[in-house]
Structure 1
Amino acid sequence: MKPEMVFDRDAEWDALTAFTRDARPDAGLGVVSGRLRQGKTHLLQALTATLGGFRFGAQQAARDESLRRLGDELARYTGGTPPGHLSRWEDAVDALLALGERGRPVPVVLDEFPDLVRQSPELPSVLHGAYRRLRETGRVNRTRLLLSGSSLPVMHRLFGAAAPLHGLADLELTLRPLDFRQSARFWGIDDPRLALLVHAVVGGTPAYRAYVADDTPSGPDDFDSWVCRTVLNPGTPLFLEPHHLLLEETDHWDRALCHSALAAIATGCRTQGAIAECLGTPLTDASHCLTLLQTSGLLHGEPDAFRPHRVRLRITEPLLAFEHAAVRPRRSALEQQDAAEVWRHARPVFDSAVAGPHFAQICRDWVVDHADATVFGAPPATAAHGSLSDPGPSAGPDLEADVVVRGRADARSGPVLSVGLARWDEVMDLRHLRHIRRLLTLLAAGGEDVTRTRPACYSGAGFTLELRAAEADGQVVLVGLDRLYGGDWPARRLCPSSGHRRSIGGTLGG
């Protein structure tokens, strides 16, 4: 049974316990990855405590110190004396795998594995050789070794196609941030508007609640004060977290360029070309920086729903978007003025550049993760932003759609199930429905089958009576905050696939 100390993470816990309790007489290898602060160590500590396993938390240390610490902790776990022979990783790996020779399956965790590999590059090959010998000799061994790491670029290199450990893993688990519904429960927030505002600042990273000493806004009217006493308060760890996050995630590359790239994206630039132009830097330099941020999991590139060749970038960590759009331009003012005064000037920017786009992303997440198939007539496969040029006589900027839902198909693009607009602080009316219908006309002219496409309006502020009447006539799907946060639709199940090899939340070998 999952301990009470572990919030949610039911699918992840089930995958870990299934891997650990597998009674097969072969040593197993699992990989647990995920960005910093997502609760990997917390989850693995709970696993080893519950199942009587061993966990070693690696640190940035010299090779000999790490081996000495590992030997000491192994001795405490087994009740023996510290082995004096752990002078090589070959000996250490043999000692770890020996824990599974006692009959029962034993979880053995090497937490922050990349820190060990940085000082001992031979370690992956040592592990590969030890597993090969076990399988060649047929010796019974039920060690369930779990290698955990927060540095996604390093984890990709360690388990990629050309790496020694590629193909050995029986379990690949990626711990992702809590989704918007899970986050609301985690923070204990019942008001959906307040829940979305808080999520637009701190996202679904569990550690951030501890970073503010469990300070949760008491209600919608307390949100501004909460921002001032937490993320804008130099006395909390959250104040400098965006800086530390980039420091740790970008593997010591050009952080100045990374900060500027994030600022460009947070203020509206979405393509590589637009970002390079905003930074005044060659496209090759911008591309290198953006690739690094994507590999680190801080950026995500998504093809336009109508123009697949156009890839739009978005910041995946809400705290970084909040920082670079609303706070970073005012950092110096925070040193001289009261936080409430600074926030008063930053709040309009937050509403338009942070909360608005974040609301649209939440709507797309709701479609894929929570909406029932009956909402759009078929199971949604993807939900993305889309844009089309309007060739009409009054042609102007591209016509935008915030939530384009496509269904499953064997071809590259599935059928268009829905085209929708998302407005965070705007009561939506028939004008928005006419905008969607214009998009559908253009799509039909371009050869898309839109005969079954359902217009949709997503609003954080509500809908007019006329639009409600159109919904009653079946002309439009309306989704407000109550529906986004309601419990009427099933959440996406992240169950591992059947069979010996399991993957949950993504793979590292691709």
Structure 2
Amino acid sequence: MDKPQEMFDRDSEWAALSAFVTDDRPGATLGVVSGRRRQGKTFLLDAITRAAGGFYFGATEATNAESLRRFSDALTRFSSPPSAYHFEDWVEAVDALLALGVARPIPIVIDEFPYLARANPELPSILQQAFGPLRPERTGSRARLLLCGSAMSFMGRLLSGSAPLRGRAGLELVVPPLEYRMAAQFWGIEDPELAIKTHAIVGGTPAYPNEFLRGDVPRGPEDFDAWVVRTVLNPQTPLFREGRYLLAEEADVRDPAIYLSVLSAVADGNTTRGGIATYLGRKAIDVAHPIAVLEDIGLLRRDGDAFRKNRSAFRIAEPLVAFYAGIMRPVWDQLQRPGMAERVWKASGHRFASKILGPHFEQLCREWALFHADPEVFGGMPTSVASGGVNDPDARTLHEVDVVTIESTGSGKPRLLAIGEAKWQDTMGRAHLERLEHIRTILRKSGSFDTTETRLLCFSGAGFNDHLREASESRNDLRLIGAADLYRAVG
């Protein structure tokens, strides 16, 4: 089916859904669609339902009896039976859905499925029985049932472990935020530095520019500070409280205080479990549960260390949450008073650059290396890109490396394609290059990687001095990557 013209990107998601709902083979099938709120799941599913003439039902927070009554009314309006539906239970309701697919493949969407399941915890088991492999109601139907939800912890458990629906789904689709280059196109931002700064605050959530901000986007680099003041720091815009709501909307988060404290610790640069615990004044075991919950709901991400396999770093996965935790939460009382936003933002400039923008730039550099860079940059195709710490036994120190690209060889030592340093504010020069050369020498001596052709990468948002530019022209093992390069198409 042709994707609607008004739908931006989402080509792979549309293709997956189209293939699922138009599958003409006999037998009803089940699919699960998840993703955080405001990513366009409802728009996507509503469009696929309209295109294929299917049934869409959006659940709300209600009792089981009220939800069943609303569902009965909605299905009556859709199928126009001889007499109106009045389902006694969900067993009857699900069989009625399967009956819709007797004549043809038909998409059936139940949006915000977690609301129904919380009101009736037996619903996943009812679906498990309804989609039994040899059940006549399933084998005689070509219904394509799609369960959708924004509660990431609940949706993640729906098909895992011993969950009732494990093994029953033929599609598991996660609708992510727009990746950083597509986000710049969606916002209509052509200046790469402005695109990076904007993405460090709002990420790639499609609903923000049009629905939350009514088309108010930065008009240019000179408008960025004013845009922050009039939008995300403005108590009169929906975006102002969005960072708090993204956490509060999760059912597994009953007491947000400890979770917000963990996020604030990470936003302040404490990326290990021990560092988070110290920031909170607690023992490491005390923060294990909130960290696990934040990982389950997709707000916290654990990144492995490229050089120390038993170490990892926690990073906030949603830029707006990082911005709220690192910039807004410490001065929340001030921000709620009219006229304080500009004053707060001026005082937060250094913190934003060092705690939010710098780490975000490093992450974009890693994404570029893994997904967008021409393999010629590294002299091979990286199979993993991460950050890592290199122990320097002579100096008794640990060198942090922002970008590490590795190619697995399948046998023998993995190839260390490149190591890189990313600096948003600093003009890079000789000292940065010498540091990378020193780290490469340490790694060669360690013997853990094949470093015969390891290249050095310098990423900078502020540019490079003449020494570094001259060196890059005369050396084959050095690459300079600026902000514009992160958005430049390969080839």
The TM-score bracket by the shorter chain reads: over 0.9
1:313 match: 314
Show the counterpart of 1:370: 372
Of the structure 1 ranges 56-65 and 147-156, higher mean CA displacement relative to structure 2 is found in 147-156
Shift of residue 83, structure 1, vs aligned partner: 3.3
Distance apart, 1:281 and its partner CA: 1.4
Distance 1:444-1:139 versus aligned 2 partners, 3 A rule: closer
In the alignment, which of 353, 357, 371 is matched to residue 355 of structure 1? 357
**Counterparts in 2 of 1:133 and 1:406: CA distance versus 1, 3 Å:** closer
* 8 Å CA contact 2:98, 2:137 repeated in 1: no
Check conservation: 2:109, 2:145, Cα contact below 8 A. Answer: yes
TM-aligned CA distance change 1:6 to 1:413, over 3 Å: farther
Asked whether the equivalents of residues 420 and 457 of structure 1 are also in contact (C-alpha less than 8 Å), the reply is yes
Aligned counterpart, 2:25: 24
- Kept in 1, the 8 Å contact 2:131–2:138? The answer is no
Deviations 1:182-203 (A, max 9, x none): 1001101111110111100000
Q: CA offset at residue 413 of structure 1?
A: 8.0
More displaced stretch, 151-160 vs 257-266: 151-160
CA 1:113/1:293 → structure 2, altered by over 3 Å: closer, same or farther?
same
Distance apart, 1:163 and its partner CA: 1.2
Query: 8 Å contact 2:264–2:325 — kept in the other structure?
Result: yes
Q: CA deviation at 1:137?
A: 7.1
Q: Is the 8 A contact 1:85 1:91 kept in 2?
A: no
Structure 1 unaligned blocks of 5 or more: 490-510
Counterparts of residues 368-447 of structure 1 (less than 5 Å): 368-393=370-395, 395-396=396-397, 398-410=398-410, 414-447=414-447
Contact 1:382–1:405 (8 Å) recurs in 2: yes
Q: Residues 4-57 of structure 1: CA distance to partner in whole angstroms, max 9, x if unpaired?
A: 221100011001001111110111111111112111111101111111111111
What does residue range 74-89 of structure 1 map to in structure 2 within 5 Å?
A: 74-80=75-81, 83-89=84-90
Name the residue aligned to 2:249.
248
Q: Is the 8 A contact 2:99 2:137 kept in 1?
A: no
Partner-residue secondary structure (3-state), 2:246: helix
Matched, 1:183 2:150: no
Q: Say which SS state the counterpart of residue 389 (structure 1) adopts.
A: strand
- The 3 A distance-change label for structure 1 pair 413 and 79 is farther
Q: Superposition pairs for residues 102-181 of structure 1, below 5 Å?
A: 102=103, 104-132=104-132, 135=135, 139-181=139-181
The 3-state SS of whatever aligns with 2:131 is helix
Report the TM-score when normalising by structure 1.
0.92
* Deviation per residue, 1:69-108 (Å, 9 max, x gap): 1111111111336634312000100111111012x21000
Give RMSD over aligned pairs: 1.7
How far did residue 391 of structure 1 move?
Answer: 2.2
Cα distance in 2 for partners of 1:136, 1:100 equals 13
Distance across 2 between alignment mates of 1:367 and 1:236: 36
Counterpart contact for 2:192–2:483, Cα < 8 Å: yes
Distance 2:273 2:154 in 1: 24
Pair 1:109–1:335, CA change in 2 (3 A): closer
- Relative to 1, partners in 2 of residues 1:316 and 1:81: Cα closer, same or farther, differing over 3 Å? farther
- Contact kept, 8 Å, 2:387 with 2:402, in 1: the verdict is yes
Instruction: Tell me by how many angstroms 1:407 deviates.
Output: 1.3
Residue type at the aligned position of 2:282: T
Q: d(CA) in 2 for partners of 1:369 and 1:242?
A: 28
8 A Cα contact 1:63 1:119, kept in partner: yes
CA deviation after TM superposition for structure 1 residue 335, in Å: 3.4
Aligned match of 1:15: 16
- Structure 1 residues 343 and 113: alpha-carbon distance in aligned structure 2, compared to 1, 3 A threshold: same
* Offset of residue 294 of structure 1: 0.3
| Structure 2 gap segments, 5+ residues each | none
Which structure has the higher relative contact order (CA within 8 Å, separation 6+)?
A: 1
1:484 matched to 2:476: no
| Distance in 1 between residues matched to 2:251 and 2:285, nearest whole Å | 18
Distance in 1, Cα, partners of 2:383 & 2:251: 31
Give the whole-Å Cα distance in 2 for the aligned partners of 1:269 and 1:361.
16
| Partners of 1:6 and 1:46 within 8 A in 2 | no
CA positional deviation for 1:466 = 2.0
Question: Following the alignment from structure 2 to structure 1, what is the Cα–Cα distance between the partners of residues 110 and 411?
Answer: 42
The residue aligned with 1:93 is 94
Matching residue of 1:5: 6
User: TM-score, normalised on structure 2?
Assistant: 0.96
Q: Is the 8 A contact 2:76 2:85 kept in 1?
A: no
Asked if 1 retains the 8 angstrom alpha-carbon contact of 2:454 and 2:477, the reply is: no
Given residue 120 of structure 1, which amino acid in structure 2 is its aligned partner? N
Q: Equivalent residue for 1:61?
A: 62
Would you say the 8 A contact 1:326–1:347 is kept in 2?
Answer: no
Out of 407-416 and 434-443, give the one that drifted further: 407-416
> Quick one: distance in 1 between partners of 2:134 and 2:113?
21
User: What's the counterpart of residue 41 of structure 2?
Assistant: 40
**Partner secondary structure for residue 392 of structure 2:** coil
Shift of the alpha carbon at 1:226?
0.3
CA contact (8 A) 1:377 1:417 kept: yes
Instruction: Give the SS at the match of 1:109.
Output: strand
- Specify which of 344, 347, 351 is matched with residue 346 of structure 2: 344
Note the alpha carbon deviations across 1:98-123, whole angstroms, 9 max, x for none.
Answer: 11012x21000011111111111111
C-alpha distance in structure 2 between counterparts of 1:374 and 1:322, whole Å: 35
Contact 2:184 2:190 in 1 (8 A): yes
SS in 1 for 2:62: coil
Mapped partners of 2:298, 2:199: distance in 1:
18
Instruction: For 1:138 and 1:247, locate their aligned partners in 2 and report how far apart those are by CA, in whole Å.
Output: 38
SS of match in other structure, 1:121: coil
Query: Contact 2:414/2:450 (CA < 8 Å) preserved in 1?
Result: no
User: Aligned in 2, Cα 1:137/1:98: closer, same or farther, shift over 3 Å?
Assistant: closer
Q: Alpha-carbon deviations, 1:289-312, whole Å to 9, x = none?
A: 101000110001011111111110
Cα shift readout 1:418-457 (whole Å, capped 9, x = no counterpart): 1000001111112111111111111112113211111101
Give the superposition deviation at 1:377.
1.3
Contact (CA 8 Å) 1:405, 1:416: kept in 2 or not? Answer: yes
1:213-272 CA distance string (max 9 Å, x none): 111010000000000000001111110111111101362333111111111100110100
SS at match of 2:289: helix
Instruction: Give the length in aligned residue pairs.
Output: 486
